[in-house]
Amino acid sequence: MNISSTKPISAFSAAAAGARLGPVKIERRPVGPRDVLIEIDYCGVCHSDLHMANNDWGMSAFPMVPGHEIIGRVVSTGAEVSDLAVGKRVGVGCLVDSCRQCEACEDHLEQYCAKGFTLTYSSPTKDPGELTFGGYSKQIVVDRNYVVMVPENLDPAAASPLLCAGITTYSPLTHWKVGPGMTVGVIGLGGLGHMGVKFAHALGARVVMITTSPQKGEDARRLGADEVLVSTDAQAMAAWASKFDFLLNTIPVPHDFNVYMTLLKRDSTMCIVGAIGPIAALNTAPLIMGRRNVAGSLIGGLKETQEMLDFAGVHNITADVEVIEVAAINEAYVRMQRSDVKYRFVLDLATLS
């Protein structure tokens, strides 16, 4: 079934950096042979949406329709799409295209595409509007290669953050082969951190929540942490020295990560997934003295994202969310800046007229 999607659809957009988001009408491209037209049910609100809307990274293009944690139902498909039936629940994450020819793309690691992937929003495109428009909208048209299937047993609103926060934490945990017999520290209990705790626990590791806030301990244990380490407690930090097989650092702002390095065992790794950009100077002594490693990781490719969703379906893993009306997005951005959400906002697109 092939339906044109060229009629205007409702969306929420920012006209310029720092501007309040408001209702607009946008157009999507017609459904091509390899395309899927999706009616969006829910879209997670990622902290990067806020950064992009404010142009904090100097790479934003406007007008902007944010949103890359998209879950909805297939409305129609192109003639060459045979594996997605109308009504199927699907998802779209952070990217909607890549070169498909470089080594990274051939290895199903499209997030590291040598020529640069196409963001789900704010990337140049030949589509109407000349920019990709994201999930703060009623519909989206996406190439089948960049659409994933979402297990029907998962709550769709709570599953939408898996498309970014979920894969951002799952990818490094599985890349560094986290599993039974390992002690894993998750640094920071926020949108990323709470997913890191859930996945590390489901993978069978002993999970320690590392936080500056002792009051977060109870919530961390509810999410699956076995223990809580308060990083401002020097005595406790010393007791945990050289005890961790892996550290997942989810803190989203610049900070001094040197304080965590001595927690690692020899030949172990701290992976940074939260803070993007310059941070405090690196003290190489703990690295050299323990042959320790600092690394980074960026979302996951489409194959790995599907693997993550299937894993989440088996273990019934979703995000802790607060579902809001689309018109509340500006207030949600303000609350995000003061960390006033446990742990992700999700837009209900049924509230967008």
Which among 270, 306, 307, 262 has a CA at the least distance from the CA of 288?
A: 262
Whether 126 has a pLDDT exceeding 60, the answer reads yes
Write down the CATH number for the domain with range 9-164+318-351.
3.90.180.10
Q: Could you tell me which residue, 14 or 7, shows the higher pLDDT? A: 14
Paired residues of 45 in beta bridges: 345
Whether 4 has a pLDDT exceeding 50, the answer reads no
Phi, psi of 58 (to 5 degrees): 65, 25
Q: Out of 4-18, 118-132, 206-220, 232-246, which region has the weakest mean confidence (pLDDT)?
A: 4-18
Residue 171, Cβ neighbours under 10 Å: how many?
24
- pLDDT in the model for residue 275: 83
Whether 39 has a pLDDT exceeding 60, the answer reads yes
The pLDDT tens digits for 292-324 are 999 999 999 999 999 999 999 999 999 999 999
Fold of the domain built from segment(s) 165-296: Rossmann fold (3.40.50)
Whether 136 has a pLDDT exceeding 90, the answer reads yes
pLDDT-derived band of residue 6, with 50, 70 and 90 as boundaries? low
Query: How far is residue 48's CA from residue 59's CA, in Å, rounded to a whole number?
Result: 12
Q: What percent of the chain has pLDDT over 90?
A: 91
- pLDDT in the model for residue 2: 41
Whether 221 has a pLDDT exceeding 70, the answer reads yes
Residue 62, Cβ neighbours under 10 Å: how many?
16
Whether 17 has a pLDDT exceeding 90, the answer reads yes
How would you class 348 by CB atoms within 10 Å of its CB: exposed for 0-12, middle for 13-18, buried for 19 or more? middle
The pLDDT tens digits for 251-288 are 988 888 899 999 999 999 999 998 888 887 889 999 99
Query: How far is residue 299's CA from residue 293's CA, in Å, rounded to a whole number?
Result: 20
The pLDDT tens digits for 42-66 are 999 999 999 999 999 999 999 999 9
> Alpha carbon of 162 to those of 45, 285, 307, 324: distances in Å?
11, 36, 12, 17
pLDDT-derived band of residue 103, with 50, 70 and 90 as boundaries? very high
Task: Count the residues in the chain.
Answer: 353
- Write down the domain spans for the chain: 9-164+318-351, 165-296
Q: Could you tell me which residue, 328 or 253, shows the higher pLDDT? A: 328
Q: Mean pLDDT across the chain, nearest whole number?
A: 95
Residue 245, Cβ neighbours under 10 Å: how many?
20
The pLDDT tens digits for 152-164 are 999 999 999 999 9
Antiparallel, parallel or unpaired: β 118-119 and 264-272: unpaired
